Structure 1
Amino acid sequence: MLDEIKSQLCNNNCSQNGICDKGNCVCDDGFIGDDCSLLRTSPPVGLTIPYGGKCGTRSRNCERTLLNGRFESTEVWCKLVYFEVVNNEKQSSLSPMIEKAEYKSFSTVSCPLPTSSDRRRKRSISDKTADGYDISLSNDGTNFGDESTILIYDDECYSCNVTSVSCTLLSSCSLTTVETSGVSSDSVVTTDSTVKTSTANKPTNLLTTTTTTQRHSSPSETTIKTVEPTEDSNGTVFVYCCHFCVISKGLNY
């Protein structure tokens, strides 16, 4: 009999802010928590983002992020303030987005993030090295707590610091820029290949030169070199390409 009575008791008697139902508090409107002791207007506190708030686009899709803390309500809202990192300066949007969080457990929720294509549409400055969101949470959709930052960047090319919101270019970055000035938009780029065409079917608009771009040790340096196609004894025209070649579609290869 005593055990049965105890099973009906609730923690702290629901703080007089709810009713006890088989050992669980059913809180009155405006109160949350296992003992109904917290106001719903009180936001979640003590939040952390996994991986130190970093999201590398080479290893993760960065479409959602987990937030760890203590969540007294199953209904949680995320406020997202988008920002870009341009020349290691943080430039924030003035229009925050509010999204419903996905409740995982009393210690974890998940907030949605715009997809990478959405972020590309937001991009307006070419010198951007990273972007991200300042995220705060609310139990009522109105009163939000302290912000936590997630920084989104290409982890193959940059090393970023969430605290200072800054990034450093890595020497191992494989991205390079190849100059194509003076090359028409209907040209085709090939790599490390030999292009050949028979003179029997050679079109009348066959170009006599091919522009070849050679990359040097510095990714910002390129040289433009013009070479002549060669023809063997069988009348076959060969164009040899080194690294990157820009070849006119007029060759019909």
Structure 2
Amino acid sequence: MQDTCNIELDRNSTVRQYLKDRAKDNDTKSGNGDGQTTTESPVQNLEDTVIDEIRKHSCLNNCSDHGNCVNGACSCDNGYGASDCSIDMAFPPRIEGLLDDGFCDEINIPCSYLYVFGEVFVGKEVICRLLEFQIDTSSKKTFELQHTFVEGIADSLIEAVCDLRQLKSQKRENDQVFVRGYQVSMSNDGEHYSTEHMEFYLFDSTCQIYFKDGKGIRFALREGFCFIEQSCFANGTVDKSEKRYCDTGLSNYSWTNIPTTTTKATTTSNAPITSTIAIDNSLAMETTNTLTDLNIGLISATTFAFIISIILAIILCRCARRKENPWKKLRSNKEKEEDSDAIEAKVNANMFSNPVYNEMHD
């Protein structure tokens, strides 16, 4: 308004003359006994004086009768705010939405600020009331028992910003927590809060994804990743101690011991976070696979040798039979014939010496 008055005074001589005349009429004058009048003080810096008077007594909507106009600005009574003191601070703002629908991805930078949209936000002492909740790996949501209050500021009547940086020091490491979030409500005076609230989620899209179904907002782990101690690790990543690594085949939410023998690896969740040395999972079982291959080879070779030895024995036996002495066989047959002739001669002799035989033939 002051700028408008200055522009009008500079370009409009009629207005200037009118203000000068009014100022002269209002000059303080005093009279003497002769009836003569004298002016005690001349008009000086008339235009500046008029502008100052306008500025002192011209405030938007006359401060809505809830404050005083001081140098062109309203000084509101307690419990009232806005530039014209028209807003009752006890009436809480209405929340209509959050930036990015309340999903804050921490893949690159932490989520340090929460942007709230609604009406009406007033002043530089907006209070954000947050109720923390935690979502575990089974999508179960658990709320904390107490609210946390953080300072905010009204960027405009329809937007406020909450400072979340002070919450980082309160972050608790819990292996069961998959996603954290806050239930948000707002206040202009720190006493009266909005009845409606919005939910704000912090996640890391490196290994976490979210979707909506009949049960509401749900989060899941990307394939090929582990989520350990509130951080994402690709399959095969070794931890800081270089004794454990992420093995999605055994556990997605705890470290796996790097095997030093041929025994099966075991899992643990008490290891420090994170170095980014990648290994091939197959190397962990290389010794076991090698020994297994050797055992199979030895068994196969032994079986093959045994079969060959049996075949050779059969062949040798057959060859030995074929090489038997033929003269020995002939001699054996001749002996059999001689034995047969002798037996026949002996039978005939007995017959001829038998009286019964002789009588029959006589």
TM-score by length of structure 2 reads: 0.46
Q: CA deviation at 1:171?
A: 3.8
Which segment drifts farther, 155-164 or 131-140? 155-164
Q: CA deviation at 1:26?
A: 1.1
Matched residue type, 2:139 = N
Please say if residues 15 and 35 of structure 1, whose CA atoms lie closer than 8 Å, have aligned partners that are also in contact: yes
Which segment drifts farther, 7-16 or 98-107? 98-107
Q: CA deviation at 1:94?
A: 1.2
Corresponding residue SS for 2:128: strand
1:214 matched to 2:264? The reply is no
Q: Go from structure 1 to structure 2 and tell me whether the alpha carbon gap of 1:25 and 1:104 turns closer, same or farther (over 3 Å shift).
A: same
Please say if residues 10 and 20 of structure 1, whose CA atoms lie closer than 8 Å, have aligned partners that are also in contact: yes
Q: Which residue of structure 2 lines up, in the alignment, with residue 152 of structure 1?
A: 202
1:224 matched to 2:285? The reply is yes
Corresponding residue SS for 2:234: coil
Q: Deviations over 1:150-199 (max 9, x none)?
A: 101111222225893321333475633323235999xxx9755xxxxxxx
1:45 to 94, 101, 107: 94
Please say if residues 150 and 162 of structure 2, whose CA atoms lie closer than 8 Å, have aligned partners that are also in contact: no
Q: CA deviation at 1:103?
A: 5.0
Q: CA deviation at 1:58?
A: 0.7
Matched residue type, 2:70 = D
Corresponding residue SS for 1:214: helix
Please say if residues 107 and 205 of structure 2, whose CA atoms lie closer than 8 Å, have aligned partners that are also in contact: yes
Q: Which residue of structure 2 lines up, in the alignment, with residue 165 of structure 1?
A: 217
Q: Which has the higher strand share?
A: 1
1:141 matched to 2:202? The reply is no
Q: CA deviation at 1:143?
A: 1.3
Aligned partners of 2:133, 2:144: CA distance in 1, in Å? 6
Aligned partners of 1:18, 1:116: CA distance in 2, in Å? 40
The higher relative CO (CA closer than 8 Å, separation ≥ 6) is in: 1
1:30 matched to 2:79? The reply is yes
1:118 matched to 2:177? The reply is no
Aligned partners of 1:11, 1:56: CA distance in 2, in Å? 42
Q: Which residue of structure 1 lines up, in the alignment, with residue 61 of structure 2?
A: 12
Give the unaligned 5+ runs of structure 1: 193-211, 216-222, 230-253
Aligned partners of 1:162, 1:67: CA distance in 2, in Å? 22
Q: How much is the aligned-residue C-alpha RMSD, in angstroms?
A: 3.6
Aligned partners of 1:105, 1:166: CA distance in 2, in Å? 33
Which segment drifts farther, 94-103 or 6-15? 6-15
Please say if residues 151 and 162 of structure 1, whose CA atoms lie closer than 8 Å, have aligned partners that are also in contact: no
TM-score by length of structure 1 reads: 0.63
Q: CA deviation at 1:39?
A: 1.8
2:115 to 34, 57, 66: 66
Please say if residues 89 and 166 of structure 1, whose CA atoms lie closer than 8 Å, have aligned partners that are also in contact: no
Q: Which residue of structure 1 lines up, in the alignment, with residue 234 of structure 2?
A: 175
Q: Which residue of structure 2 lines up, in the alignment, with residue 91 of structure 1?
A: 142
Matched residue type, 1:72 = V
Give the unaligned 5+ runs of structure 2: 1-18, 23-49, 226-232, 236-245, 248-255, 258-264, 271-275, 291-362
1:101 matched to 2:152? The reply is yes
Corresponding residue SS for 2:94: coil
Q: Go from structure 1 to structure 2 and tell me whether the alpha carbon gap of 1:117 and 1:15 turns closer, same or farther (over 3 Å shift).
A: closer
Corresponding residue SS for 1:46: strand
Q: CA deviation at 1:81?
A: 0.6
Percent identity over the alignment?
A: 22
Q: Deviations over 1:100-157 (max 9, x none)?
A: 2245555332322555563333x3x52x331111111111212111322210111122
Q: Which runs of 4+ in 1 moved over 6 A?
A: none
The structure number with the bigger radius of gyration is 2
Please say if residues 183 and 200 of structure 2, whose CA atoms lie closer than 8 Å, have aligned partners that are also in contact: yes
Please say if residues 66 and 111 of structure 1, whose CA atoms lie closer than 8 Å, have aligned partners that are also in contact: no
